[in-house]
Amino acid sequence: MLFRSITQANIKGKNGTEFSFVGLRNNVANVKSYEGVDVCWVEEAQTVSKASWDVLIPTIRKEESEIWISFNPELETDETYQRFVYSPPENAVVQKINWNDNPWFPETLRLEKDSLKARDIEAYNTVWEGICRKTVDGAVFAREMQAAELEERITNVPYDPIKPVHIIFDLGWSDATAWWVLQFVGMENRLIKYEECNQTTITEIMAKIQTYGYIIDTLWLPHDAENKTLAGNGRSIEEIVRSMGYKTRIIPKTPIADSINAARTIFRNCWFDKKNCSTGLQCLSHYRYEVDPDTGQFSKNPLHDSYSHGADAFRYIAYAITEPKTMTKKKPHAHYNIGNSWMG
């Protein structure tokens, strides 16, 4: 027997080798605890976000250690493609390996390949030739994202220190909490920053936001921020945030289709900072409709996945732009109170 033990998370060999299997999507912070890694192999790497790479890369720091990455390219704007193919590190070895590099490529797959080429050349180019798509299949904001790129509204968008910012949230715990930082400058909606995190308390998030150094006008919270919970010692997230001295507004629950349409109407006036909103832009590019399992066609419901939280927060921006001023809740007083529960 070659192995000493095999579990769901580890394989340990009798010669001292060890293979560990770790997910990056929901528990990237756990990767920091790994030491002495010789080789880190990231499979299906096209979905890895900037935040995950920023944690993983400095963790693999043993002398002569390596990171191996394998993936099928999807969008050119994806963080993995930009970081390792479009502008690879100086010491990187980048190799495109395709179906025609396989000397044992089977006839069954050749027929499948040729059939797709005849039906859908764009899909063929992505699946079989490794050429990036312009948009993913079923993308909710496909035309809007293409227009933003063509009109060069994805660019360097600096913070204007004389203008306050609005911060729009989609809240989660196991799922990501996501937020966009927005400035109104003339007729432009300037998205200057996007961030997301998992299993982070609202007080920890607000402490991070304080480091931005922005003048904050309003924090926009989804309707469930009004719910009082035991984790918040009987307080809601909205109450916790207001107790820190911030002005808040609650975004009511609305039909998803309505909020998608509202987001489309404001998209033409949105400008995105390419660097500081890179993960958020990935969310908007990958936000797609579910496939109906019975018909094989796209449904009217967006897919709930790792990209949907950033897109949900963006949908709320449309309400933040048009919401009546009478809904404002004034901040009670200006002090900062960090508690110990997960909500604060």
**Is the pLDDT score of 271 beyond 60?**
yes
Confidence class of residue 343 from pLDDT cuts 50, 70 and 90?
A: very low
Task: Say how far residue 334 (Cα) sits from the centre of its chain.
Answer: 32
Three-class SS of residue 145? helix
- Across residues 296-303, what is the average pLDDT? 86
pLDDT value, residue 227: 83
**Is the pLDDT score of 326 beyond 50?**
no
Q: Which of 157, 23, 151, 149 minimizes the C-alpha distance to 75? A: 149
**Is the pLDDT score of 344 beyond 70?**
no
Confidence class of residue 323 from pLDDT cuts 50, 70 and 90?
A: low
What architecture is domain 142-327? 2-Layer Sandwich (3.30)
Confidence class of residue 33 from pLDDT cuts 50, 70 and 90?
A: confident
pLDDT value, residue 329: 45
Q: Which of 330, 76, 27 minimizes the C-alpha distance to 175? A: 27
pLDDT value, residue 215: 94
pLDDT value, residue 3: 63
- Across residues 64-71, what is the average pLDDT? 92
pLDDT value, residue 86: 85
| Per-residue pLDDT reduced to its tens digit, 111-163 | 999 999 999 887 888 889 988 877 788 899 999 998 998 899 999 999 999 99
pLDDT value, residue 74: 84
Please provide the average confidence, as pLDDT, over all residues in the chain: 86
Domain ranges in the chain are 3-95, 100-133, 142-327
CA–CA separation, 182 and 168 (whole Å):
8
CA–CA separation, 223 and 236 (whole Å):
11
- Across residues 3-18, what is the average pLDDT? 82
| Per-residue pLDDT reduced to its tens digit, 79-114 | 898 899 988 998 899 999 999 999 999 999 999 999
Three-class SS of residue 157? coil
Confidence class of residue 73 from pLDDT cuts 50, 70 and 90?
A: confident
pLDDT value, residue 183: 96
- Higher pLDDT: 201 or 24? It is 201
| Per-residue pLDDT reduced to its tens digit, 240-266 | 999 999 999 999 998 999 999 999 999
Confidence class of residue 325 from pLDDT cuts 50, 70 and 90?
A: very low
What's the helix, strand, coil split of the chain in %, to 5?
A: 35, 25, 45
pLDDT value, residue 61: 85
**Is the pLDDT score of 75 beyond 90?**
no
pLDDT value, residue 232: 61
Alpha helices (runs of H) in the chain, residue ranges in sequence order: 50-59, 79-81, 107-119, 121-127, 142-150, 202-210, 237-243, 256-267, 278-286, 308-322
| Per-residue pLDDT reduced to its tens digit, 229-240 | 655 677 899 999
- The highest-level CATH class for domain 3-95 is alpha beta
**Is the pLDDT score of 322 beyond 80?**
no
**Is the pLDDT score of 338 beyond 50?**
no
pLDDT value, residue 2: 67
Q: Which of 276, 279, 270 minimizes the C-alpha distance to 307? A: 279
